[in-house]
Amino acid sequence: MSASDILELVLTLAPAIIVGVVAYYFFNNYVRDEENRRRYELRKENQKEALPYRIQALERMTLYLERIDPGRLLVRVKPDDDDKHDYEQKLIKTIEDEFEHNLAQQIYLSTACWDAIRSTKNATITLIRKANMDDKVDSPNKLREVVLSELLDKPAPSATGLAYIKKEAREIW
């Protein structure tokens, strides 16, 4: 093959190669954009389907935090006898049982929101335990008084958790 034949071959194939490269580039971009669009549509549809579950989880956890609010908890859970330690354990068991009942809700909440709820639960239990260690507490009724007097000075731990749930609800809408 002579140099003129090679030059003629290159000049003949060059437009085809250029068209092939440009076509590959545009086809590749089109496929990638189409895949991204399908992912977006799928994510959007999944969010639309999951929204009622997320709202329901927020509602259930709001109810949980309201139920473990010390003021409401102490009214709802009455002492069985005159042993302050039994009453403390009964209150804590009530908090823990309700928490375990709502464990599945965490899959619909953000990690930060779930952590805020767990922190609220732990702070409420700590408040009860701390009040029971007070020297003035010698009966379940005195324990109730001490816990309620603690709440006069500062907001209940539930207030923090509820504020976080409300923040998360606003982000959904």
Over residues 31-41, the pLDDT tens digits come to 999 999 998 88
Give the model's confidence band at 11: pLDDT under 50 very low, under 70 low, under 90 confident, else very high: confident
Minimal CA–CA distance to 69: which of 173, 161, 4? 161
- Measured between alpha carbons, how far is 137 from 83 in angstroms, rounded to an integer? 11
Whether 51 shows a pLDDT value over 90: the answer reads no
Percent of the chain with pLDDT over 90: 72
Residue pair 64/117 in contact by the 8 Å Cβ criterion: yes
- Measured between alpha carbons, how far is 138 from 153 in angstroms, rounded to an integer? 22
The alpha carbons of the chain give a radius of gyration, in whole angstroms, of 32
- Average pLDDT of the segment spanning 73-97: 94
- What is the identity of the amino acid at 60? R
DSSP letters of 34-75? HHHHHHHHHHHHHHHHHHHHHHHHHHHHHHHHHHHSHHHHHH
Q: What is the structure's pLDDT at 165?
A: 95
Indicate the length of the chain as a whole number.
173
- Measured between alpha carbons, how far is 68 from 62 in angstroms, rounded to an integer? 10
Whether 49 shows a pLDDT value over 90: the answer reads no
- Measured between alpha carbons, how far is 27 from 42 in angstroms, rounded to an integer? 22
* pTM attached to this predicted model: 0.74
